[in-house]
Amino acid sequence: MIIHSERGPLAGRRTSSAVAGVTAASERKLALWNIGFAYTAFLIGTFCGLLQVFMRNEMIQLPAWLDYYQVLTVHGVTLALVYTTFFIYAFLITGMSKALGSFGPKVARWSWIGFFVAAAGTVWATIEILSGRASVLYTFYAPLKASGWFYVSLALLIIGTWIISFALIAHYVKWRKANPGIMSPLFAFMTISTLAMWIIACLGVVAAVVFMYIPWAFGWVDTINVELSRTLFWFFGHPLVYFWLLPAYMAWYLVVPKLLGTKVFSDSLARLSFLLFILFSIPVGLHHQLTEPGVADFWKFLQVTLTFMVVIPTLMTAFSLFATFEISGRQKGAKGLFGWVSKLPWNDIRFTSLFIAMVFFIPGGAGGIINTSFQLNEMVHNTLWVVGHFHITVGTPVAMTFMGISFWLIPYLTGRTLTKTTKKLAFIQIISWSVGMLFMSTAQHVLGLLGAPRRTQHSNYSDHPTVLGWFDGFFSNTATLALGGIILFFSAMLLMVIVFRLWLIEPRSEKGDLYAEFPIAESDASATPRWLENWWIWIGIAVALILLAYTFPITHMIQDAPPGSKGFINW
Amino acid sequence: MHLHKFEKIWLIFGIAMLAVFLGIVGVQAFTQGQTPAGGMEKIDPEKVDVTAPFDDPGVHQIDEDTYEVVIKAMAYGYEPSEIKVPAGKEIIFKVTSKDVIHSFTIPNTKVNMMVVPGQVNEKRYTFKEPGTFLILCNEYCGTGHHFMHTEIEVVEE
């Protein structure tokens, strides 16, 4: 059975109740607003990144009203939280409209409301940070105390994403009711998996912000339970990274086979791998807290074990992707063990960008295994190694996949095309990002192993010999980090030019233009077991695992808590 | 659910490796005591200065082969600022914070401890060679975070 129609949101008429035309235009506009917001954040965030690498080398001095840690906070928030989140919703909104038909008026209205609530929260948080009322970095660890309004603005951002999420879920529920007994299209299934994980994960941070930080920051209570606040943060903090990653996986599972002219390798395994991510992305937050007191070793180790379970869906994904590459290559006449490599469409920027993103994820994933390996974590915890790690996970595999999606999603939404000139620029952009990231992240990994701390302004620590090793050699050199950062900034600005061209300058697309299409591969769900789409089973198991992993440590933190901490404003 | 034959081999091999790997990490942790810093002792963060053992920070010999080093962390330094320990002896570091979260980190060693107010963190470590090691804070603690450091001198027995 062919599940995905080839029609865009404007033509989507799969469901009888949808008001095609008006709402579809609304979805297109909504997705573009999300993308516009995302790339505005990207512009600000990458500029802050450039400032940081200069400051790490004492190449520039900031004006008195701005300090390193404010720039760092803005860099983290705009890129890791804002760019990713808004881009993800643009992708999901467009894809859900394509896969399930155009939104009804209620879904459309609530998606817009969610967008504006999230956007308002973001802008407000940025104002709080830049005005110096919230130099707490984006992890906002207590007892550093930002203004109460900073936490309110964060809550708004999350609530906004929940509103959009529930709107998309409502759209899906309506489709299920209209199509009883049929497996949902894979794009919709993956979207719902991602959103289910996101909603459960956010419960931790929402509980911390609403019940702990806000009453404390406004002075309604005097003290805060520090260890509990950290634990609730990381309940959210780890699945947050999978929230970035899963939409990239969606593109790898669904867009790549289409670009290769083949089908999804296995519909049921694709679904199963997303379900395993719901199960094993949440009850694992303690692996970010391995070197701290207040949690018994047994619970740390249990969560380390659960963390490692994501290796299984990752191996499944890797197998599917390489199987897809090989099958398509052989269909095009490739011979020998590796002949299919030369048959891949390297000239297609939509493919090449995603392929490079996947390649970066191999060392990225390996580094992740090191980070979560209990004892080994001590060698790297809070060093620049970790910064190197997330720049080759979220900073390249995820971000470059989003760039690769932008190259067709923006034309698809604006009705324009990707001309040869822009395509050339896109290749330069992707390659320069790869080269810049290779320099920067390798230097960060090496410097981290030499003990250089993360989230720390330049310091020579009284000229201790250990520090001299951070400015010596090629990759063990802060200057190499800066070189990579400069190349990355060049790439980021080029991307802004490309986005601008695709949005406003490129010519209108003509019928049959490949770059103005939303590529979704067919996925044969005829043999897929029905229980894979019984959400109650999977959410039930997820909740059981969360209770297993967290009940005891959290109960201990509450019942056996030390006297709480009052707030500190150390800036 | 259909699984390709190669995929079965791939997954069985991968899961088996995972089990072996976790087994090694677990055995090291629970039979050889190779655990990261931790501890369940708690303390009133407002009364650190008058609570034992932090009312007497510094190096204390516990027995012939064991020393305890008691450290208070605060924005932006450590107390005491001078620490001298012997090489080849087991050192038990005990740290807590008087204000926000810090770290007590000695680059090029396994000593990398989060310092959390209200909690006492503990780590056992033996320096093999004498020398002067850098101690730094690698958790953001305020505008002076990058100035927060000291040294530990490891001397011959």
CA pair distance B118, A114, nearest whole angstrom? 39
Average pLDDT over residues A547-562: 96
Answer yes or no: is pLDDT of B1 > 80. Answer: no
Query: Do residue B8 and residue B50 come from a single domain?
Result: no
Answer yes or no: is pLDDT of A12 > 60. Answer: no
The proportion of chain A whose per-residue pLDDT surpasses 90, expressed as a percent, equals 84
Query: Do residue B31 and residue B96 come from a single domain?
Result: no
Q: What is the CATH number assigned to the segment(s) A345-525? A: 1.20.210.10
Answer yes or no: is pLDDT of B136 > 60. Answer: yes
Q: Which residues pair with A453 in a beta bridge?
A: A383
The mean predicted confidence, pLDDT, of chain A is 92
Count how many domains chain B has: 2
The proportion of chain B whose per-residue pLDDT surpasses 70, expressed as a percent, equals 100
Are A377 and B36 within 8 A, CB to CB?
yes
CATH number at residue B140: 2.60.40.420
Going by C-alpha positions, the residue among A474, A396, A461 that lies closest to residue A435 is A396
CA pair distance A518, A528, nearest whole angstrom? 24
B27 contact A CB<8A: no
Q: CATH 1.20.210.10 in chain A: give the residue spans.
A: 345-525
Residue type, A385: W
The DSSP code sequence of A48-108 is HHHHHHHHHTT-----TT--HHHHHHHHHIIIIIIIHHHHHHHHHHHHHHHHH-PPPHHHH
Structural domain range at position B71: 45-155
Which residues does chain B have within 8 Å of residue A459's beta carbon, measured at their own beta carbons?
Answer: 146-147, 149
Average pLDDT over residues A412-433: 95
The pTM score is: 0.94
Are B101 and A143 within 8 A, CB to CB?
yes
Q: How confident is the model at residue A511 (pLDDT cuts 50, 70, 90)?
A: confident
Q: CATH 1.20.120 in chain A: give the residue spans.
A: 20-182
Query: Do residue B119 and residue B65 come from a single domain?
Result: yes
Looking at residue A510, its pLDDT comes to 83
Residue B40 included in any domain: no
pLDDT digits (tens, 9 = 90+) for A190-236: 999 999 999 999 999 999 999 999 999 999 999 999 999 999 999 99
Query: Do residue B141 and residue B83 come from a single domain?
Result: yes
Helix, strand, coil fractions of chain A, as percent rounded to 5: 70, 0, 30
pLDDT digits (tens, 9 = 90+) for A444-475: 999 999 999 999 998 889 899 999 889 888 88
> What's the CATH class of domain A20-182?
mainly alpha
The more confident residue out of A17 and A362 is A362
B51 contact A CB<8A: no
pLDDT digits (tens, 9 = 90+) for A92-103: 999 999 999 999
CA pair distance A455, A34, nearest whole angstrom? 29
Going by C-alpha positions, the residue among B135, B138, B139 that lies closest to residue B150 is B135
Q: Could you tell me the CA-to-CA distances from A517 to A350, A417, A424, A429, B81 in Å, in that order?
A: 11, 9, 19, 22, 64
Query: Do residue B4 and residue B56 come from a single domain?
Result: no
Distance from CA of A134 to the nearest CA of B (A): 11
Answer yes or no: is pLDDT of A13 > 90. Answer: no
Q: Please provide residue A139's backbone torsions phi and psi, each rounded to the nearest 5 degrees.
A: -90, -10
Distance from CA of A89 to the nearest CA of B (A): 31
- The shortest CB-CB distance from A268 to any of B1, B117, B144 is to B1
CA pair distance B50, B113, nearest whole angstrom? 23
pLDDT digits (tens, 9 = 90+) for A382-410: 999 999 999 999 999 999 999 999 999 99
Q: How confident is the model at residue A52 (pLDDT cuts 50, 70, 90)?
A: very high
Q: Could you tell me the CA-to-CA distances from A8 to A4, A25, A86, A190, A518 in Å, in that order?
A: 11, 11, 21, 19, 7
Catalytic residue, candidates A171, A350, A389, A416: A389
Q: Which residues pair with B86 in a beta bridge?
A: B155
Residue B114 included in any domain: yes
CA pair distance A352, A349, nearest whole angstrom? 5
Query: Do residue B31 and residue B85 come from a single domain?
Result: no
Which residues does chain B have within 8 Å of residue A316's beta carbon, measured at their own beta carbons?
Answer: 7, 11
Query: Do residue B76 and residue B138 come from a single domain?
Result: yes
Q: How confident is the model at residue A58 (pLDDT cuts 50, 70, 90)?
A: confident
Query: Do residue B50 and residue B3 come from a single domain?
Result: no
Going by C-alpha positions, the residue among A375, A387, A360 that lies closest to residue A448 is A387
CA pair distance B103, A284, nearest whole angstrom? 22
Burial class (CB in 10 A: 0-12, 13-18, 19+), B16: exposed
CA pair distance A1, A147, nearest whole angstrom? 55
CA pair distance A517, A405, nearest whole angstrom? 11
Query: Do residue B91 and residue B136 come from a single domain?
Result: yes
CA pair distance A343, B60, nearest whole angstrom? 69
Query: Do residue B60 and residue B134 come from a single domain?
Result: yes
Cβ-contact A161, A118 below 8 angstroms: yes
Going by C-alpha positions, the residue among B21, B17, B14, B22 that lies closest to residue A317 is B14
Q: What's the CA dihedral at B20, B25, B29, B32 to 10 degrees?
A: 70
Cβ-contact A399, A251 below 8 angstroms: no
Active site residue A238: yes
Active site residue A242: yes
Smallest CA–CA distance from A465 into chain B, residue: B134
Q: Could you tell me the CA-to-CA distances from A412 to A309, A346, A503, B98 in Å, in that order?
A: 37, 21, 10, 56
Answer yes or no: is pLDDT of A316 > 80. Answer: yes
Average pLDDT over residues A129-138: 89
